[in-house]
Amino acid sequence: MLTFAVAPAARPLVSNAEDFSRPAAEDWVTVGGDWGNTRYSTLTQITRNNVRLLGATWTSDVFDENGTSSVTPIVENGTMFVTAGRMVYALDARTGARLWSYKTVPDARAETMNSSLGRSREEGAAPGAIPNFRGVAVSAELIFVGLVDGHVIALNKKTGTLAWVRQTGIEEPKQQQQVSTAPIYVDGIVLTGLANGDANLRGRLTALEASTGKVLWQVFTIPGPGADGHETWPSFNNTWKFGGGGVWANAAVDRELGIAYFTTGNPVPAFAGDWRPGDNLFTCSVLAVDLRTGKLKWHYQLVHHDVFEADAGTPVVLSDLEIGRKRHKAVGILRSDGYLFQLDRRTGEPLLQVIERSVPQLSSQRTSPTQPHPVGGESILMDCEDWRKKKIPKGFVVGCMWTPPASPPPSKDAQNVLAPFPSVRVSQMAYSPQTRFFYAQGTSFLTWPRRSQDPYQLTFDTTVFNLKAYGEFAAIDGRTGKIAWKKRVYTGGKLPIYLRGALLATAGGLVFRSSGDGNVESYDAETGDLLWTFQTGAVDASGSPVSYEVDGEQYIAVPMGSAVWAFKLGGEIPAAAARQPPSTEGEFRGQWVQTNVIETTSMKHTQFASVNRYFIDEFAFNPTRARVAMSTAVLFVNNGNMDHEIVATDGSWGTGPLSPAQEVWLTFDSPGVRTYTCKQHPWTHGQLAVAKTEPAQGRSTRSSDGSWDNSRKLVTQVALGKQQFDNNCSACHERDLSGRGMAPSLIGDAFASRWRGAKVGQMFERIRTTMPLTEPGSLDRKAYLNIVAYLLQANDMAAGEIELEDSAEVLNNVSIADIKRHYQ
């Protein structure tokens, strides 16, 4: 038995209005459109023949505190429910007018937060973290919201007042513990999942009583001693206690069979396969559980002994599959390498043939000899042969999707292997019963995965010089698993890990998606032809579109950045000006650091179980990009355990051979950017920018009484901001600002494009009200302002030489694009 704390409830009486088993029509009542997650609308007013006439008809007010949203809106009886930042909103689906709003986190300056429940001691009501990025669920009376600290809350649908709050994880504050799925409501039960960012806890499935929040049952995705599946974990350690298996995607439900279907994430430690030999059930799996008791009915593991970070991170889709003349109740799941699996909904047996295929082996990772492969199926991603035809960075070689990450020296594993990343997750598929196609998207790109000395440090580098990413948007024939059509789409201004927004298919023969360049797009569902685009002006948005009908008119609505946009035939709101997407071609990534000391070895940082973990990287310069003034002596130090020789890529200069702890001084007498590498390890790259004059070190600024305060300088503010960022933000966003998983990059063209037109106060409020993710607003205002200054400086948008001021003049009136001139 997998379950614990089981308390089966009597079957509640449910009205027909709460039957969400059919595809969406006038209303969009679950994030998947229905309990089968088809994301299909039966509305036909908007078709491939008239979609060119689609126009914006309303936009909502900008979300409070500059919050943004990518969730799937819920629309019922003319009311739309959506979350953004730390707010939950009810909007008029006809006009976008705000009906009510609820703030999940009080202002940390004004109220004392209870550390356990995250509630105001005065009110005893406000939970302690922001809504997750997945969406909400509704019943006849309530709206259910999952929070990133493990709580689920229920609000009154009509008023927005709090009905109940329930912790689904551990009551004590836990780093990265979060309700990671959209709640799903069915027959008086609310289903949710818990994940942990590869740290802290085993994943959990939870069923709550909708009326009270009472826990009906919970299931660990990693079985404990005595439970079926525990034998697939090692007996010589307790890795199962931190086993991972996070539940990242919302459930699907077959009400007739009484089964809920979930998918689970990768095992932990992610790249340390030697610490957990075995298949590591029930990670990277589809789980079918009894809706009433949580008892496991069957499982299907998509990846054995995962050492590839290959979460099953998209919701399953329920459909009817015809094979020959026989119709089967099917569960469709898109594995993260882009292959579609079709399983029998009752038994979990594959309906389309699957074989166990041999995969590359690495003894240091205790790799599984085989992985499941759909016979005749095709991936929506590029394979290793495609990548070998592309230009890759000098010094690297290309592996395949199942190439394991290397263990660090002194192992003999090859250290320079780039591998395709299993990126087909996060974005929800759509399924059309008209075409019988599944619509999916992902990103083809290479990463540099490596096993750290510390098994609990996850290291896959996406900042390798000159890597390129390719957005993939495809239709997969559900009857064969083959690609029906595929399109290349915009990926964003940085190397992305995922394409995020969910897809929408309609009976009008269309598929809708949002694009990171600000466009909302519609494609012919049969052919993949692009039929319509509308530019919203939202940079790096990833909204999830829905369709609904009010007063006889069909709408398409999608959150894009800081507002919801709604479209109908004849809509007259003009599109925003098209923007030129930033190019990543040939881009060298990483922040510039002002220093004249460059080391051959770098230390990377993350957190596991609320503890700092580190990776000593022998093959990365520290910093990757340095800035000095012309004629400054630069110290190159071999800080590693191997011999290194730093040489310019154009051959114009070099350090000569450097043994461990050896150093050399070099002086550069002309301005320009110099790229260099290591002669012995040519996959290691760095950059040195030499300026004509000394970079600004800061200047005195005025204090509140108008006098000059020589101790307050920009360089001090930025240094404090970096320290505060490292302590509070880097576990998700990385110390080099490159981002990780769901946490976006805070460096480069995409970040600059997103914020250049905003006010300083908008960035300040966005960070202050949403970060750190599990404890928003917990830092003081000065710390948040320091972090803003640091991010501006790292992106070459710093405030001249004077520190940022916490004043209405600066926060409310000064744009980031104009901030340098304002302070000069």
Choose the weakest-confidence range: 329-343, 697-711, 771-785, 795-809: 697-711
pLDDT at 15: 45
Q: Report how far residue 824's alpha carbon sits from residue 379's, in angstroms, rounded to the nearest whole number.
A: 54
- Position of tokens 């709003």? 101
pLDDT at 119: 41
Confidence class for position 704, pLDDT limits 50, 70, 90 = very low
- Structure-model confidence comparison of residues 5 and 96, the more confident one: 96
**Residue 235 confidence (pLDDT) above 70:** yes
Nearest CA to 311 among 680, 742, 722, 726? Answer: 742
What average pLDDT score do residues 319-344 get? 94
Confidence class for position 175, pLDDT limits 50, 70, 90 = low
**Residue 762 confidence (pLDDT) above 80:** yes
Confidence class for position 765, pLDDT limits 50, 70, 90 = confident
Confidence class for position 726, pLDDT limits 50, 70, 90 = confident
**Cβ–Cβ < 8 Å for 352, 331:** no
What average pLDDT score do residues 436-441 get? 97
Exposure of 758 by Cβ count < 10 A (0-12 exposed, 13-18 middle, 19+ buried)? middle
Exposure of 517 by Cβ count < 10 A (0-12 exposed, 13-18 middle, 19+ buried)? buried
Q: What is the mean pLDDT of the chain?
A: 86
Confidence class for position 608, pLDDT limits 50, 70, 90 = low
Q: Which residues of 168-186 are buried (b: 16+ CB within 10 A; e: fewer)?
A: bbeeebbbbbbbbbbbbbb
What average pLDDT score do residues 484-508 get? 86
How big is the chain, counted in residues? 824
The answer, yes or no, to whether the previous bond of 223 is cis (omega within 30 of 0) is: no
Confidence class for position 820, pLDDT limits 50, 70, 90 = low
**Residue 561 confidence (pLDDT) above 60:** yes
pTM: 0.89
- Reading the block at residue 35, the tokens are 């309990």
Exposure of 595 by Cβ count < 10 A (0-12 exposed, 13-18 middle, 19+ buried)? middle
Angle at 484 between CA 487 and CA 316, to 5 degrees: 90
- pLDDT tens, residue by residue, 394-409: 899 999 999 999 988 8
pLDDT at 567: 98
**Cβ–Cβ < 8 Å for 470, 382:** yes
**Residue 177 confidence (pLDDT) above 70:** yes
Choose the most confident range, by mean pLDDT, from 128-137, 591-600, 671-680: 671-680
- Reading the block at residue 572, the tokens are 């007259």
- Reading the block at residue 309, the tokens are 């970070």
**Cβ–Cβ < 8 Å for 363, 377:** no
What average pLDDT score do residues 641-656 get? 95
Choose the most confident range, by mean pLDDT, from 173-187, 202-216, 694-708: 202-216
- pLDDT tens, residue by residue, 79-93: 999 999 889 999 999
**Residue 695 confidence (pLDDT) above 50:** no
Confidence class for position 10, pLDDT limits 50, 70, 90 = very low
pLDDT at 380: 97
pLDDT at 7: 39
pLDDT at 731: 67
- Position of tokens 């949710």? 192
- pLDDT tens, residue by residue, 348-403: 999 999 999 999 999 999 999 999 999 999 999 999 999 999 888 889 999 999 99
**Residue 488 confidence (pLDDT) above 80:** yes
Bridge-partner residues for 167, per DSSP? 151
Sign of CA dihedral 343, 348, 351, 356: positive
The answer, yes or no, to whether the previous bond of 269 is cis (omega within 30 of 0) is: yes
pLDDT at 714: 66
**Residue 728 confidence (pLDDT) above 60:** yes
DSSP string covering 543-609: ---EEEEETTEEEEEEEEBTEEEEEEET--BPPPPP--PPP-TTPPPS-EEE-SEEES-EEEEEEET
Percent with pLDDT over 70 in the chain: 86
**Residue 245 confidence (pLDDT) above 90:** yes
- pLDDT tens, residue by residue, 741-759: 566 778 776 677 677 778 8
- Structure-model confidence comparison of residues 51 and 749, the more confident one: 51
Confidence class for position 346, pLDDT limits 50, 70, 90 = very high
Percent with pLDDT over 90 in the chain: 60
**Residue 707 confidence (pLDDT) above 90:** no
Cβ neighbours of residue 89 under 8 Å, at least 6 residues apart?
60, 63, 80, 81, 82, 83, 98, 100, 101
Domains delineated in the chain: 28-569 (2.140.10.10), 590-695 (2.60.40.420), 698-824 (1.10.760.10)
What average pLDDT score do residues 118-137 get? 66
**Residue 472 confidence (pLDDT) above 80:** yes
- Structure-model confidence comparison of residues 261 and 1, the more confident one: 261
pLDDT at 539: 76
pLDDT at 719: 82
SS3 90: strand
